[in-house]
Amino acid sequence: MTPAETLKSEFLLQISPSSHFEVLFDHLPGVSFFAKNRDFRLVAANRAFWERLGAKSEGDVIGRNDFELFPEQLARKFRDDDEQVLATGKPKLKIVELFFNRQGLPDWYFTNKFPVLGRNGSVIGVMGTVQSYTGRKTAFVPHQQIDRAVTYLREHFHDPVNLTDLAKRTGMSVRQFNRRFREVFGTNPRTFLIKTRIQAACEVLRSGDKPIAEIALDFGFCDQSAFTQHFRRHMGLTPAAYRKRG
């Protein structure tokens, strides 16, 4: 152990159990903090987290799991990520979560999840932060140009999108645009666009019986076959199977 690691370790061992570091997150605008035990039940949450759920206090969400707080399709995605962190003991960073507002426009959220280790070194839970892109983008001063592309994608993700033209909107070359986009979102623009379209299609698949071929065309896929291929890659099942699952 290096001198720096020893100093940190000695300090952490002196911390009182009643000293709650998570209160720091109550003073970070736009940042939601949560912690769950191995049963996936919340054991801690900051104000931004429980207020977003319409709760009146932290106590209203403690002991509850994602399936009790979120729509099933979101809860299932959250559970899959949590299980991976618990199983591997490794963090999952820059997870891009997608929610659609009442106007049908996508709002992107960045989630970072970390394992919580017990005194014996075993993984006893998961903790993480969630921050909206809107609330986070001001922190990316060197990447302000990316916002032009994101704003365009938010409003035109269902239309044909030429990534070369998208890069031009930012005033960057395609190579530079791809690099900076990945720095912010952890993925390339094309994958980001496809993921947005897939999530939007999920909303339609759940809410009606519109033919899958029409949904494919509505969200910018050349045909049903291409749509099914991308959908299976991102969701783990076909659009038809997803619809049947409800």
Instruction: Output the domain CATH number for residue 213.
Output: 1.10.10.60
> Do residue 28 and residue 106 come from a single domain?
yes
131 and 162 together in one domain: no
Same domain for 122 and 75, yes or no, is yes
User: Domain ends where: 87, 113, 135?
Assistant: 135
Tell me which residue range forms the domain holding 182: 140-245
Given 135, 154, 183, the domain boundary residue is 135
Question: How many independent structural domains does the chain possess?
Answer: 2
Q: Give the strand order in the sheet containing 106-117.
A: 42-45, 31-37, 123-132, 106-117, 92-100
Co-location of 109 and 154 in the same domain: no
Per-residue pLDDT reduced to its tens digit, 1-49: 788 989 988 887 787 777 777 778 888 777 899 999 999 999 999 998 9
Q: Is 200 contained in some domain? A: yes
Averaged over successive runs of 10 residues, the pLDDT of the chain (246 residues) comes to 86 76 78 94 92 90 94 85 96 81 69 92 94 63 73 88 91 92 85 89 86 94 94 90 83
Residue 73 and residue 95: Cα distance in Å, rounded? 16
> Which of 111, 135, 159 corresponds to the end of one domain?
135
Straight-line distance from the first to the last Cα atom of the chain, in angstroms, rounded to the nearest whole number: 52
Q: What is the pTM of this model?
A: 0.70
> Within a domain: residue 215?
yes
The 10 Å CB-count burial string (b at 16+, else e) for 192-201 is bbbbbbbbbb
